[in-house]
Each structure stands twice: as structure tokens, then as C-alpha cells.
Structure 1
């Protein structure tokens, strides 16, 4: 056995994969990777409780790829790994991680991502010879019904962000998919929380799992300047445009509570000369990908997002977050404003508070343990905005 000082090699990964990790400049394994990689390599079922951004994707991608390296060459390619995810964005991200770490392997397994919102025909063609399948439940069921693939050879099943799949109402679809996967498999389940529904899944699907629970790190709010404006509901739109224009803001992530509000806001912003786009579940995958790419590249001033879709947005140097509407929970508020002030860079978080919001905003501040100054906006001349 070859000795190595590479910390990922010490977890049981081969040189080909530790080199791939080094190219991605991972200095040390994340806590979840330290525990999950050896357990998955040992063939154990795993229950991981960890938030997005904790390093969990690599914690199952790397050992799964190692299992492919260890496997004798099969007579023909078959889907041996199935990863179920709740959203199109996450499907693309997970597949990209598989591709990134496997691109220089001697015989990289073919990885395919399938999801709704785009034509099914190219996905049917892409599934030929696929060995790793990343899928949203609904589109996978469509493909199974069309006999475009089957799950008879699945050896490893991953449920990523299982709590989100349940929140989105995928329970029945998940049951239908799971009924078509062999019981003689390794099952890996990741969730942000361990609620009753996840506990039920655990009891029904996992066999003597290794449980890994990573405490959620506290958001560092010290680098974020928070302020709020008291404003009547009918003046919120003009005030938002005033703040963006007068502050010469670039790269502004605006949070709203509904897809309808997002679309209406974008129309008004564009009419007033502020380049904006919305990203939410009602948009096609192409539109969502394009909007996010333009925003990250600085070609789009404002991205208007709902909480669910925004979970996949990670921009290291985002300068502004504006709560056009407050979230329901204080925790979501902290997650929202935590999108700025990253990588030791400062950021501004602004909230627009109507009279109906004031009590809720007091609760948010109390839970957060910080007081946010509320500025009066009544005297601001919003004519022309």
C-alpha cells in the first residue's frame, strides 16, 4: 500500500482522485468529507445532516468515483449510481462536480443530468451508456415511462437535499422511483434537517447507517452593514429604484416572496432603465441559467429571486442584498443577508419595511441578536422613480 501525506489520500482515495482534488485547490477535507468518504468507501449506508455549502457534494462524489476505479470493467455500461435532487440547478451542479473530478480518470464513467423544463429528447439520447445519473424525480419518472433507461443495475442511491424534495411535494414521485431500484444497494441520504419525514425515510431505506451530523456554522454578520427603510407599501417599488440608481449599485440580489412579485418587479426595473431578470421555479432552465450567468459576470445589475431558487446562488463578492419582502423565518433572513459579506469582503444588506412588517422585523432582530437601524423614507422625493 502506497503511503501518502495527502489528507484526501488518507481517507482512502487513489492518486488519480487526490490529484483531481489538488487541481480544485481543496487544501483539507471538510468535516463531512472526513467522515463520509471512508464510510461510503466501506459500503455503508450514510445519513448526513448538513447544510448546502458544507462540502457534502464532494463527500459522496469522490468515494463513488473511487468505487468505479475499484470495479472490474463491466461488459456493458449501465446506470450504477442514481442521485436524486430537488431542483434543476442542483442537478446541473452535482453532475458538474462528477465531471470535474472524473475528467482525468483512466476510464471516466459517463455522467448525465436529467431534469424538467427542457426538451426530453436530447436527454433520452444522452442516457445511452450512462453510468451515473443525476435526476429530479419527475423527469426521471418520465424517462422511465418512456423506457429511455432503467434502474435495475443501480448499486448506489443518493438522496441529496431530501428535505427539499419533501418540501416540494416529491414524496410520491420518490416512492415511485425507489420502487424501481434494487433493495441490494448502498443508500446515501443528505438533508439539512432531521425532521419526522426524514426520520421515516431513514427507517424505511437505510440499513444500519453511519449518521453524520455537521453543526451549521454561524453566519458571520460582522462584515455586513445592515439598514432598513420604513416605507408605505405603494412606495416600495420607487424606493427600490431610487436606492439602486442613487447608490450606483452594481450586482444587487433582491429577494421577494413570490414568483408573481419577482416578475412584476423585473418589468418595472427594466422600464426604468435598470437591467434586471428574475430567477424562480416558473422560469425555463435556459432562462434561469442565462440570468445567473449574466449576473455573475456583471452584465446584469439586478437579479430578483425567491428563497427556494436562491439557495443555489453562491457569489463570493456580492456587494448588495435587498429584502424587497421579508422572509417568513428569522433564519431565512440571516441566510439571505449572508449571501453578501463573504470571503472577507464587506457587503450591504437593506430591508424595506412596511407598517405591516414592523412587528415581524422586530422578531427577526431579536432572534438575530442585532439591532438594525430603521431610516425614514417619507422625505425622500421619489418622483421620476
Structure 2
């Protein structure tokens, strides 16, 4: 099915062609017509499945048929959990809106940077992409108004609910017009998401693309049993042995991320950290360098990975296992994308073996496990 059969305008089809988008993904095939029809949508599909373009395209199309509101009254509100995802969503809106006859102004607002430039930039806004905390600050300052919102999108809704944004979102939703289109997008369907789905959505089109496990076929998984004290040296061995030029390493805490980066740098391996304690400028620069292939190792917490979207990332390493099997799938799903194979390596300490067994059972796949002590790390 070509994009031209989905009801999109010539300007949007040209934008798709300019960016080498050829055929819609499964979620886009269903979501685009549903959103064009102003229906509520619940979309469940893995990261990298095209969810963002699946709502951006029809929203831009609908905005072309609307008398766009000015003077700090946005038409569309997209709520996201992280600054990185906010910038990523803004970029997609801007990339697809270049050829439109009626210009659409998109702005991303988030904490960690000065609020004053954001307040000034809100004049004439049409699409507002925001993290909940910063949006509430702007609302309290009367810098933006939500009374003209026609469409609300919760992107990565599963993470937003898990991260304790519920109180903030309740306040924001209470300020929205009751008659509006609602779109919820998530990589997984949690109980929290089911609850908010029942509150927010009216007779929604439910799209569930259950291809997470199938997509794992492109990923070569391998695990090594490594004691905690030997994980650092073994990580460096893997980077050198496999001649890794671009590798994303996951750790479970800010402290551990910084410790890994410091050790890598001391051993002359170019690495940077990305986590919630880093300034926005630092995070943006690290992500930009990594995506451009100019940074060898990026070490991240799970939350920060939500803005890391790279089609041909060759290596992912779990320095520690995540608590949730779903987070494990999300982590390794950073590689093996766009039909390109990738390698996912997990460093599993002896006390993590039982938990790794649970992850494999939930994933429905057995992973080869090698004792690192049997490997000659001097070669």
C-alpha cells in the first residue's frame, strides 16, 4: 500500500518522497486514516515502528483544513516524557511541514534550560511538544493557553505513567477542552495505560502491532557471565576485540553511567554519558555526535534511550540487566532496525542469572550464555 492511498496531500507526499519514505509501516497504514477522520486512537507498537510519523502526517493534514489559532493558543499538544523525545518529535513535525501552503509553527518545551526563551517563542504556536513539568510552569505564567487544543497526543504513554507524571497530567488534562481528539501511543500496554485509556479515549481505534518478538530475529543476542568487579575490563575488551565504532551501553543508574564513562576515558576509549543529571546542552551534543558516528561509546540510562533513534546502530551492550523484561526488549531493540542486523550483548553477573532466565522466558527466546572466564582477553 503506497502513502498516496492514505488520503495525504501532495505536499505531504512530496515531503515523504524527499525523505525517502516509500511505503507506510503497519501502524501508519491504520493510524493515518483514523487520525484524518478525527477518531481517538490507541496505538501499541514497538519503538522504531513509525508511530511518530503515523500521527504527525495526519495531524499536519488536518491542520491545513483548520483556521490556525495564534496568540499563544496552540491547536495540538504532544506530551512526552523526556527532552530528547520532545526535540525528536519537533523535528519530525518540522521536516514534514516544509512544503505546506499554510505554515505550521512547532515548538518543544522542557525543563533543564531557561524558561524565558521558551516563553517568548510561544507566540503564534500551533503544535506544542512538551514535558509535563515545564508545561505546567508555562501555564502558571500564562505564557500559553490550552483552551483551543483540538488534538492531544501522549507519546510513550507507558513511560510517562511509570515515571510518575500522573498528577501533572491530571492537572493538564483538566485544562483541556472536553471535545477534542485523543491519541495514546506506547511500546507496551500496561495496567496504568489501560486505566488512562478508559478515562481519556472515546470509542478509539485500537492498533496493536505485535511484532516485537519477530523483530528480535534481526538481533544476534549473546550473554557473558561476568562478576560485577570484572565488568569494566570485560566491556573494554569487547569494544576492542569487536572493533566497535558505535556502541550504546546501558546501565541502571546515573552513578553507574558516569563510572563507566570515566573508566572508558581513562583507557583511551571515546565515551560520553547521557542521563537526567546532565545539562540539556551536554545531552544534545552527545546524542548528535553519537548519531553522526563521531562518538564511539554512548552510555545511557533507560529513560534517556527514548530519544535515541538510529536505523543502523550495530551494537548494544547491557552492562547491567534492567528490572523489566519489557525494558530489556526496548534496550536491545535500539539495534536490528530498518532491516539491518545488529548485536546485543549482555554482561550478566552470577546473581543476575535467575532474572536473566525470566527475561528469556518473557521474550520467548533462548540466549547463548558464555562464561567470560573461558575467554582469552589478551588477544
Q: Give the TM-score of the pair, scaled to structure 2.
A: 0.91
Q: Does 1:237 align with 2:232?
A: yes
Match of 1:62 in 2: 57
Residue 128 (structure 1) aligned to one of 97, 110, 123? 123
Residue 359 (structure 1) aligned to one of 354, 368, 371? 354
CA contact (8 A) 2:222 2:367 kept: no
CA contact (8 A) 1:77 1:130 kept: yes
Match of 2:80 in 1: 85
Partner of 1:48: helix, strand, or coil? strand
Distance 1:117 1:66 in 2: 32
Distance 2:182 2:359 in 1: 38
Q: Residues 163 and 224 of structure 1: is their aligned pair in 2 closer, same or farther, counting only changes over 3 Å?
A: closer
Distance 2:269 2:81 in 1: 32
Count of equivalent residues: 377
Q: Does 1:375 align with 2:371?
A: yes
CA contact (8 A) 2:246 2:296 kept: yes
Q: Residues 198 and 345 of structure 1: is their aligned pair in 2 closer, same or farther, counting only changes over 3 Å?
A: closer
Q: Does 1:258 align with 2:253?
A: yes
CA contact (8 A) 1:229 1:377 kept: no
Q: How does 1:41-60 map to 2 (within 5 A)?
A: 41-60=36-55
Q: Residues 342 and 194 of structure 1: is their aligned pair in 2 closer, same or farther, counting only changes over 3 Å?
A: closer
Residue 333 (structure 1) aligned to one of 321, 328, 342? 328
CA contact (8 A) 1:226 1:372 kept: yes
Match of 1:144 in 2: 139
Q: Give the TM-score of the pair, scaled to structure 1.
A: 0.89
Match of 1:165 in 2: 160
Match of 2:26 in 1: 31
- 5+ residue gaps, structure 1, are 1-5
Q: Does 1:211 align with 2:206?
A: yes
Distance 2:55 2:339 in 1: 29
Match of 1:3 in 2: none
CA contact (8 A) 1:219 1:338 kept: no
Partner of 1:124: helix, strand, or coil? helix
Deviations 1:181-200 (A, max 9, x none): 11122222222333332222
Deviations 1:134-158 (A, max 9, x none): 1111000000111111111111111
Partner of 1:169: helix, strand, or coil? coil
Q: Which segment is superposed worse, 140-149 or 49-58?
A: 49-58
Q: Residues 26 and 376 of structure 1: is their aligned pair in 2 closer, same or farther, counting only changes over 3 Å?
A: closer
Distance 1:336 1:199 in 2: 23
Match of 2:6 in 1: 11
Match of 1:275 in 2: 270
Q: Residues 74 and 152 of structure 1: is their aligned pair in 2 closer, same or farther, counting only changes over 3 Å?
A: closer
Distance 1:303 1:75 in 2: 40
CA contact (8 A) 1:318 1:341 kept: yes
What do you get for the CA RMSD once the two structures are aligned? 2.4
Partner of 1:70: helix, strand, or coil? coil
Partner of 1:144: helix, strand, or coil? helix
Deviations 1:144-187 (A, max 9, x none): 11111111111111111212111111000001111111112222
Distance 2:190 2:369 in 1: 35
Q: Which has the larger Rg? A: 1
Shift of residue 126, structure 1, vs aligned partner: 0.8
Distance 2:252 2:270 in 1: 20
CA contact (8 A) 1:137 1:174 kept: yes
Distance 1:240 1:51 in 2: 28
Deviations 1:26-57 (A, max 9, x none): 21222222222222222222222222222121
